[in-house]
Amino acid sequence: MSIDIGEISIPDLPLFFSMFLTIYLIAYLIVFRNWKPQIRPEASSCLISIFHGTPAVFLATRAVFSSSSRSFSSANTAAQNTVLDFSVAYFLTDLVHYIVFNPSDVLFIGHHLATLFVFLTCRFLVFHGACAILGLLILAEVTSACQNAWTLAGARKDDPESRLAVKVYDLLSPPFYAFYSIVRGVLGPLFFGKMVAFYARGGAHGVIPNWLWISWALVVGTAITVSILWIWNLWIDLFRQRKASQLRQDKKIR
């Protein structure tokens, strides 16, 4: 797919990559220029995630439900390929961010590389399975807006000049944790199980090789497991903080 600008036809992927890279640079050089150097890269990464996450949910939903065939083995439509290009461009941009500013963050770099493998093989290798991949994308990104607001507040909560960030972080934490737990801990595994069962029964025989859907399953299964462990640890930390705060209040009363 490509987008026509005047008499020039520009492929979606490089156009979207240029867009996300431009947003990142504007965020880093202008929007967050007064933030501490240690958190400017993370804040800039959050901004491109905001421009990707919620739009991707709406675009993917429209692309899936506008298709006459919504099987996990259906041929990709032009609209579905455009959404895949959109997400590939985002993850490539964020991957560059991690390689430049956080090269030791092997977990996120590995996550982005694995995610790109899934998107790129669906888009350019087998040309089928976008309904399954976009369904997973919707579940992965539906929490994005809330998560990015929480992350930005968390990045500044230790700044003495930003007491608002502490209030926003404390206010967002419980509902964000609950929302994320439901999506990643319940809906995600249910959709994943349905997808794996479909492929295991041979539903994509002849269009998606066994080695590929198994690779997708390993990537997605690992991502879901890590997400559940991450939110579990956040819940534990939240309850520990609440308990410690309650103990301090009890001591003051005494």
Residue 139 lies in domain:
9-253
Confidence class for position 237, pLDDT limits 50, 70, 90: very high
Q: What is the pLDDT of residues 47-71, one digit of tens each?
A: 999 999 999 999 999 999 999 889 9
Residue 3 lies in a domain: no
Asked if residues 72 and 131 have their Cβ atoms less than 8 Å apart, the reply is yes
Residue 1 lies in a domain: no
In angstroms, rounded to a whole number, what is the distance separating the alpha carbons of residues 197 and 58? 26
The pTM of the whole model exceeds 0.85:
yes
Domain count across the chain: 1
Residue 52 lies in a domain: yes
Residue 58 lies in a domain: yes
- Pairing mode, strands 8-11 and 2-5: antiparallel
Residue 185 lies in a domain: yes
pLDDT tops 80 at residue 247: no
Asked if residues 29 and 60 have their Cβ atoms less than 8 Å apart, the reply is no
In angstroms, rounded to a whole number, what is the distance separating the alpha carbons of residues 122 and 117? 8
Residue 194 lies in a domain: yes
Confidence class for position 164, pLDDT limits 50, 70, 90: confident
pLDDT at residue number 10: 54
Q: What is the pLDDT of residues 3-33, one digit of tens each?
A: 544 444 457 899 999 999 999 999 999 999 9
The larger pLDDT score, comparing residue 139 to residue 157, is at 139
Residue 175 lies in a domain: yes
Longest distance between any two alpha carbons in the chain, whole Å? 77
Percent of the chain having pLDDT more than 90?
82
Q: What's the whole-number mean pLDDT along residues 215-237?
A: 96
Residue 4 lies in a domain: no
